[in-house]
Amino acid sequence: MNFTPVDNTGRVDGYCLVKNVEVKTSSKGDTYLDFTLGDSTGEINGKLWRYNVAEHGEYKANDLVKIRGTISQYNGADQLRIERIRPTIDSDNVHIEDFVRTSGYSSEQMYDELMNIANSFADNNLKLLVTTMLSDNRENLLFWPAAFKLHHALRGGLLMHTLSIVRLCEGVCNVYPFIDRELLLAGAILHDISKIDEFDVNDAGVADGYTIEGNLLGHISMGATKIDKYAERLGVERRVSVLLQHMILSHHGEPEFGAVVRPMFIEAEVLSELDLMDARIFEMREAVAAASPNDFSARVWALDNRKLFNHTRSDLDKNPKLF
């Protein structure tokens, strides 16, 4: 977190994004606010003791605030004891998009690369379907995250996750030349297209939660339906549409992980494996980077509750090589 020292007593101040806030009661019966605060560099837990709504105001997730307080250690982690807090005002000249993590790549560049790949397809059915769906959803794709809380929950994370898998697919096709490259790449580009229907996302690219459709249907079934509707409208060959729909419906691999069916042809299997790989590599990198050198991370629920070892031999600051 980027805080500015106020004096030599350890007090700091700065601007933060409220990631989460809860009203709680202490063991002495006092009301306090328990915050998760963040900026583009990380997060910190914050406590506002003896909270009084009339004095301190009310706060919710995705509020930008100015804070003064003291950082100390609690259970081995930094914690901010908040002394002053207020919402930001126009004269502060701060913007929410500067306080969220991003993919590290230009969203326009990632989008253009996916569009260039689709435009290079020799199969006119795949080219028409993929380029039209990318074009129609461009505005949201440029800032949409790939998840609510887990892998690639970043501004532009959906494009980053998609392009990462496309690059992995290209490598697999170099090893296995019998794979239908264009079908695999088309499935990779479209596999999470309905995450833009699954999450409520604010202008900063932060998911506030799930839409009603996201909760009731999920991006997998909505994605297959979206492809079916586009294909019918565009006159895309039915067989091509069905193959792509199957890739969407099966890309989570197993029913226990959300797949409607298991992959039933090679390209569907490759997409499923690479989707899992990219998500896990992201989660593992995050966990290892947070661990002390030559020590283990906390247990990671998304990775089968494993602890991960930071052997220090890797440069974890390097971004995936997408270009």
Per-residue pLDDT band for 290 (boundaries 50, 70, 90) equals confident
Say how far apart CA 174 and CA 183 lie, in whole Å: 15
Assigned CATH topology for domain 101-286: Hypothetical protein af1432 (1.10.3210)
- 221 Cβ contact list (under 8 Å, min separation 6): 249, 260
Indicate the range of 144-148, 167-171, 216-220, 229-233 predicted with least confidence. Answer: 144-148
Domain boundaries, the chain: 4-98, 101-286
SS3 content of the chain, % helix, strand, coil (to 5): 45, 20, 35
Decide: helix, strand or coil at residue 127: helix
Given a contact cutoff of 8 angstroms between Cβ atoms, the answer to whether 117 and 109 are in contact is no
Strand positions, DSSP E, 137-214 = 199-201, 207-210
Q: Which two tokens stand for residue 234?
A: 């565009």
4-98 CATH pick, 3.40.109.40, 2.40.50.140, 2.170.190.11, 3.30.70.260: 2.40.50.140
- pTM for the model stands at 0.81
Given a contact cutoff of 8 angstroms between Cβ atoms, the answer to whether 11 and 69 are in contact is yes
The pLDDT > 70 percentage for the chain reads 99
Say how far apart CA 289 and CA 35 lie, in whole Å: 23
Can you give the pLDDT at residue 102?
80
Only one residue has tokens 């020590």, namely 295
pLDDT at 39 exceeding the cut of 90: no
Only one residue has tokens 């989570």, namely 252
Give buried/exposed letters for 255-272 (b at 16+ CB in 10 A, else e). Answer: eeeebbeebeeebbbbbb
Digit-coded pLDDT (tens) for 60-119? 888 899 999 998 888 777 899 999 999 999 999 988 778 887 888 999 999 999 999 999
Return phi, psi of residue 154, to 5°: -130, 160
Can you give the pLDDT at residue 298?
85
Can you give the pLDDT at residue 97?
72
Helix axes 218-234, 238-250, angle to 10 degrees: 170
Digit-coded pLDDT (tens) for 42-63? 789 999 999 999 999 999 888 8
Question: Of 142, 103, 125, 122, whose CA–CA distance to 282 is shortest?
Answer: 103
Do 4-98 and 101-286 come out as alike in CATH topology?
no
Give the mean pLDDT of the chain: 92
The pLDDT > 90 percentage for the chain reads 69
pLDDT at 148 exceeding the cut of 90: no
CA 13 → CA 65, 68, 91, distances in Å? 11, 4, 17
Decide: helix, strand or coil at residue 5: strand
